[in-house]
Amino acid sequence: MRGRLQLKGKRLSANDNLNTVIRPMTFMCVANTHLIGRIAGLSRYVPFRKGIQMNELFSILVKPTGAYCNLDCEYCFFISKDQVLPGDPMMSEETLTVFLHRYLDEQPDGDVTVAWQGGEPTMRGVSFFELALPLAEQLARPGQRIRHVLQTNGTLLDDRWCRLLAAHDVLVGISVDGPAELHDRYRVNKAGRGSHTSVMRGWHLLEGYGIARNVLCTVHAANESHPLEVYHFFRDEMHAEHVQFIPIVERVDEAHAASAENCWRRTDGSRILYRQAGRHVTSRSVNPVLWGRFLNTIFDEWVQQDVGRVFVQQFDVMLGNMFGQYSLCVHAPQCGNALVAAHNGDVFSCDHWVEDEYRLGNFLHQEFREMINTPRQHQFSSFKQNLPDDCLECSVRWACQGGCPKDRFSPDLNGTYRLNYLCAGYRSFFQHAMPAMERMAQLIDNGLPAAMIMDEIATNDTSFFDIDTMRKEGRYEPIPA
């Protein structure tokens, strides 16, 4: 497929809703467009919710505890950001009030997402959120509806937390990397012990209170070769219906390689600041080819058994891109409207770029619109569109859009270091999934549920998978080694 699909002769617009024909739930994303839905999203991702179509002018991840966290995950890029955000990491009630006033004042009517993240946001304490959640709802204009989302490791949740989250219909994303033996390899507490048992306790507490919840799973060296083990754990053991897979890419330069392998610590135990610099990765990082294989393997099971029952962000995003509906900044043509607000009011270009040169200002003294419309942020937004020739000529550019700029440090055909580190995996997945995705798009185009593809596969009606036909139509090209 090249270009965008036309839905019954017209391009899908922001007023059309794919959710009615694809599925009853939508992704929520920090991308500029929220047409398939709403996140955490993120390149740092946040949870996604059913039936919401967002119209925010920009998205904010607010961090009420800065980089402070009770876990010590070995691959965490954010825990060292206390060097950029010094001082007390806890957001004051006064700062909270200013944030909510300013953020809601600058958002249009309709559903407005307030996305809480960290660090670990629950370390701010339940009493802070007992103030924050109702305050946001009180400050909303009559035409606004507040949608709270919380991304957490889940280890500190208890009954008091769950009563609050349930009362305010908070969507909760839980970070879990699969079954215990895979999760506990890197997601450890301050004592170096695995966190899986505590995370599962939090998940089941949420389940008992009927709280909407998602799984956010990072894919790395420990679980990249176990796609079905991970997927089956989420689907069959946790009964998760909504899953996001995030590739771990720990970028590092030669000078800091040893410290990076030592969980970003020097020999004296002090941390080095994680920066988006260098052309190497740590041993914990996902292998690009295995990243593609991970997605392909899960996709093959999903498309045969779980369409309409389990919602995987990467699959929904690809299908949305086929209709020109870009719901995730990673695979959208542009980014730059997904900001981060720290506990002290500092605002940064993106969650992955909390560095001094990407500090846009402070919401205690400036409007968010003012900070978005600075030359610095315009330059940041241009990173996304500065694609190498490899991308411009790629048959799956419409789906990939070059990926996240933070991962563009591999050599391209011209010898410059602008190609996405994950390119081999992305190309493998998008080409592998394309025949089935095109078939689901055709079903949608004819007013039929995408889940009908499972019946077609079950009865061996899989002519849409024919590689020779795809080659003739220019929809297929081999993945280079």
Active-site amino acid positions: 351
The CA-based diameter of the chain, rounded to the nearest angstrom, is 64
Cβ atoms < 10 Å from Cβ of 267 = 8
| Residue matched to tokens 């939090």 | 202
Query: C-alpha 382: how far from its chain's center?
Result: 20
| Dist CA 316 CA 322 (whole Å) | 10
Which tokens go with 280?
Answer: 């190497």
- Give 410's contacts (C-beta < 8 A, 6+ positions apart): 279, 417, 419, 420, 421, 423
- Cis amide leading into 336 (omega within 30): no
246 SS3 class: strand
Which tokens go with 465?
Answer: 């998978």
Instruction: Kindly report the length of the chain.
Output: 481
Q: Which amino acid is at 314?
A: Q
* Burial of 415 from C-beta contacts in 10 A (0-12 / 13-18 / 19+): exposed
462 SS3 class: coil
* Torsion angles phi and psi, residue 265, rounded to 5: -120, 145
Please choose, from the candidates 99, 117, 132, 101, the residue with its C-alpha nearest in 3D space to the C-alpha of residue 364: 99
Kindly compute the dihedral angle of the four CA atoms of residues 455, 457, 459, 465, in this order, to the nearest 10 degrees: 140
Query: C-alpha 235: how far from its chain's center?
Result: 19
* Torsion angles phi and psi, residue 119, rounded to 5: 40, -155
10 SS3 class: strand
Q: Which amino acid is at 16?
A: D
Strands of 207-305 (E only): list them: 213-219, 242-247, 251-252, 280-281
Which tokens go with 343?
Answer: 């506990």
How is 355-400 classified by DSSP, letter by letter?
A: SGGGEEEETTTS-HHHHHTSHHHHHHHHHHH---HHHHT-TTHHHH
